[in-house]
Amino acid sequence: MTISLVPLAVCGLLVAAGMTLLLERSLARVLAGVILLGNGVNLLILTTGGDAGDPPLLGRAEPDQMADPLPQAMVLTAIVITLGVTAFLLSMVHRAWQLRGSDEVSDDTEDRWVRLRARRGQLGERVRARQAEYDRLVAEQRAELHAELRDEPTRGERMAHRRADRRRLKARQREARKQMRRAIRAERERQALALDPELEGDE
C-alpha cells in the first residue's frame, strides 16, 4: 500500500479550519466548523481503506484488486449522521436568531456569576472613591472658610461675616451632603441591578 500525502494534508487542513470555526461564538460559524470537521474526518476514514481499486462485491474483479468496502460503508454512515446533526444545528441557529435576533452563544451561568461579582466589586470601589472625594471636598471648603475668617479685620464685621459665612458654609455642606447621598443612592441602585441574586432570567 502506498501512502499519498495529499488526502492527509487536506484532511488536516479541514480539521484545523473546522476546529477554528468551532471555537467561534456565532452558532452559524460553529455550524460551518462542524461541516468542515465532519468532512475532514470522513476523508481520514476513507484514506484508511488503502489504495484505490476495482468496485467490490460485483464480482467483476479479483478480491486482491478490489477497494476496501468497509471504510466506504462507514463514511456513508458518518455522512448521514453529520447531515442529521447539521440539520439540527441549523434549526437551532434559526431558533436562536428568532429569539434573540442574533445567533451568538451567550455566557453560561458561572461566567455570568463571576462577571457580576466583578462588577459588584467595581461598583463598591467606586462608591468608596466618591465618598472619599466628598469628604476631602468638605474638608477643603472648611479650611478655606476658616482661612477667610481669620483674615477679617474688625470685631463687629467679623461677627456678622462669621454668621453669614457659617450660614453659607452650612448651606454648601448641606448641598454637598445631598449630592453625595444622591450619588451613593444611584450607585446602590446600579449595584442592586447588578446583584440579581437568582440569575435565572436571561439578560
Partner 1 sequence: MEALIPVPVLLPLLAAGIKLAIGARLRHLQGVISIFALAVNLVVSAVLLAQVDQHGPMVARIGGWETPIGISLVADRLSALMLVTSSAVTLCVMVYSVVSAYDRQEDVAPMAIFHPAFLVMLAGVANAFLTGDLFNLFVAFEMLLSGSYVLLTFGGTQSRIRAGATYTVMALMSSMLFLIALAIVYAATGTLSIAQLAVRFADLTPQVKLLVELFLLLAFAIKAAIFPVSGWLPDSYPTAPAPATAVFAGLLTKVGVYAIFRLEALLFPGGPVGTLLLWAALATLLLGVLGAVAQTDIKRMLSFTLVSHVGYMVMGVGLATVAGLAGAVFYAVHHMTVQTSLFLVAGLIERRSGTTSVNRLGGLMRKAPLLSVLFFVPAMNLSGIPPMSGFLGKLALIQAGLEVGGALPIALVAAALVTSLLTLYAVAKVWGKAFWREPQGEGESRADAGEEQMERSAANTPGLYGPVTALVMLGLAYTVLAGPLSSLTERAADELLARQPYITAVLGSG
Q: Which residues bind partner 1 (CB under 8 A)?
A: 22, 27, 30, 34, 37-38, 41-42, 44-45, 47-48, 70-71, 74, 77-78, 81, 84-85, 88-89, 92, 95-96, 99-100, 105-106, 108-110, 197-198, 200, 202
What radius of gyration do the chain's Cα atoms show? 37
CA torsion 70-74-75-78 (nearest 10°) is 180
Least distance from partner 1 to the Cβ atom of residue 37, Å: 5
> Is residue 124 a contact partner of residue 111, using CB atoms and an 8 Å limit?
no
d(Cα 162, Cα 147) in Å, to the nearest integer? 12
**Of 109 and 154, CB closest to partner 1:** 109
Grid cell 468551532 is found at 22
- The three cell numbers of residue 179 are 449630592
**Of 91 and 179, CB closest to partner 1:** 91
Least distance from partner 1 to the Cβ atom of residue 109, Å: 7
**Angle 173-178-180 from CA coordinates, rounded to 5°:** 95
**Of 99 and 129, CB closest to partner 1:** 99
Closest CA to 183 of 136, 141, 131, 132: 131
d(Cα 37, Cα 34) in Å, to the nearest integer? 5
Least distance from partner 1 to the Cβ atom of residue 48, Å: 4
- The three cell numbers of residue 9 are 494534508
